Amino acid sequence: MTSQKLNTFLENNLQELKDNGLYNEIDTIQGPNGSEITINGKKLINMSSNNYLGFANDDRLKVKANEATDTYGVGAGAVRTINGTQSIHDELEAKIAEFKHTEAAVAFQSGFNCNMGAISAVMNKNDAILSDELNHASIIDGCRLSGAKVIRVKHQDMDDLRAKAKEAVESGQYEKIMYITDGVFSMDGDVAKLPEIVEIAEEFDLITYVDDAHGSGVMGKGAGTVKHFGLQDKIDFQMGTLSKAVGVVGGYVAGTQNLIDWLKVRARPFLFSTSLTPGAAAACIEAIDIMSSSTEEHERLWENGRYLKAGLKDLGFNIGDSETPITPCIIGEEKLTQRFSKRLTEEGVYAKSIVFPTVPRGTGRVRNMPSAAHTKDQLDIVLETYKKIGKELDVIS
């Protein structure tokens, strides 16, 4: 007999979500995640992955993953601090530190638990965290978990950051104060104003934490947003994921040796959750090697981003002010945005709608994530399809 209370709770809440159109049906992909995907047997041009460089199904990475699986096994067998650290994990961390130009790095099983673990390892109830209001959910949860006072800062508003940093310092209430921001914001493609952030951080002695999930592999010739601005010595935490441009899975923090030593004894997912699989670690190493030795994929990503943006703009769509290949097509009203995305899928283009509460009400958008793996022919089909649906739904004239 299962719990009656639980069943009632689940049934009521699931029904409420369904009644309000908020229940997310999951699309299952048959086969790899590339520039084309198959859903329900139908081939679709994929504009919704974070697979920026096309590495998720790259043969070079697959070979390394298979070799490492043969050498080390399919699983690490334990958490990092018992005996789940294999030489491939040490190799990956050394590779990340080299790529990020830092003294050291620590790898986690995902970007999400990296943020949860790293923030709460350093910050506590005697501290304050200034956090951009559009930061990712894993940052929000990591901040909450830490017990620190969380102070929301208006999105990319440097005056607000300065005022709140000043107020926090002058209150004398906090031992440490951190400012945490995404490096690239994934909904609009805007880039954190790191030079100004560093200036404010120096003035008020703030700890700086940049979540570069969407900047790594994309900004700074691949090395990320911090490198883009040449601020490697000025940012305390360079956090990133191994799941987006790197194409595999995992997260990391790159920073000073002391910071990494501390995270390895205090970040709870490192201590209490089994290590990355050896195959994943090896594939990540190969991705970083490719990014370090060639800018081919990187250039194609940016070229494809420019091409798509120019095409959509020419058609009369509002594409916002993205500074990266991320290309939102802002439709506005929520239902119309969802209808637009559904029609695109019916016509062979998979581009997800993003609406309130993920973005402010009335700014619903279909978000396009061009990648190095897309061909010009595919992007032309995408543009033709946008033109057709845009006219059909009166979004463009």
Question: Does 186 participate in catalysis according to the annotation?
Answer: yes
Catalytic, out of 35, 48, 49, 186:
186
Q: Measured from the CB of residue 116, what is the shortest distance to ligand PMP in angstroms?
A: 10
Question: Does 244 participate in catalysis according to the annotation?
Answer: yes
Residue number, 68 or 253, with CB nearest to ligand PMP: 253
Q: Which long-range contacts (CB under 8 A, 24 or more apart) does 136-144 make?
A: 136/182, 136/186, 136/211, 136/213, 137/112, 138/111, 138/112, 138/113, 138/114, 138/211, 139/115, 139/180, 139/182, 139/211, 141/112, 141/115, 141/116, 142/115, 142/116, 142/117, 142/118, 143/119, 143/180
Give the whole-angstrom CA distance, residue 50 versus residue 248.
Answer: 11
DSSP state of 55: G
Q: Measured from the CB of residue 108, what is the shortest distance to ligand PMP in angstroms?
A: 9
Residue number, 216 or 385, with CB nearest to ligand PMP: 216
Q: Measured from the CB of residue 89, what is the shortest distance to ligand PMP in angstroms?
A: 17
Question: Token match 């978990």: residue?
Answer: 145
Residue number, 168 or 248, with CB nearest to ligand PMP: 248
Catalytic, out of 214, 227, 309, 374:
214
Residue number, 86 or 241, with CB nearest to ligand PMP: 241
Q: Which residues pair with 164 in a beta bridge?
A: none
Q: Measured from the CB of residue 152, what is the shortest distance to ligand PMP in angstroms?
A: 16
DSSP state of 349: E
DSSP state of 59: H
62: helix, coil or strand?
A: helix
Residue number, 33 or 204, with CB nearest to ligand PMP: 33
Measured in whole angstroms, the distance separating CA 262 from the mean position of its chain's CA atoms is 24
Instruction: Compute the CA torsion angle 313, 226, 273, 266 (nearest 10 deg).
Output: -150
Counting runs of H as helices and runs of E as strands, what totals does the chain give?
A: 14, 13
Catalytic, out of 89, 95, 227, 244:
244
Tokens representing 4 are 């009656």
Q: Measured from the CB of residue 140, what is the shortest distance to ligand PMP in angstroms?
A: 10
Question: Does 214 participate in catalysis according to the annotation?
Answer: yes
Residues binding ligand PMP (CB under 6 A)? 110-112, 115, 136, 138, 182, 186, 211, 213-214, 241, 243, 251
Residue number, 225 or 241, with CB nearest to ligand PMP: 241
Q: Measured from the CB of residue 183, what is the shortest distance to ligand PMP in angstroms?
A: 8
By beta-carbon distance, which residue lies closest to ligand PMP? 111
354: helix, coil or strand?
A: strand
Cis peptide before 32 (omega within 30 of 0): no
| Catalytic sites, residue numbers | 186, 214, 244
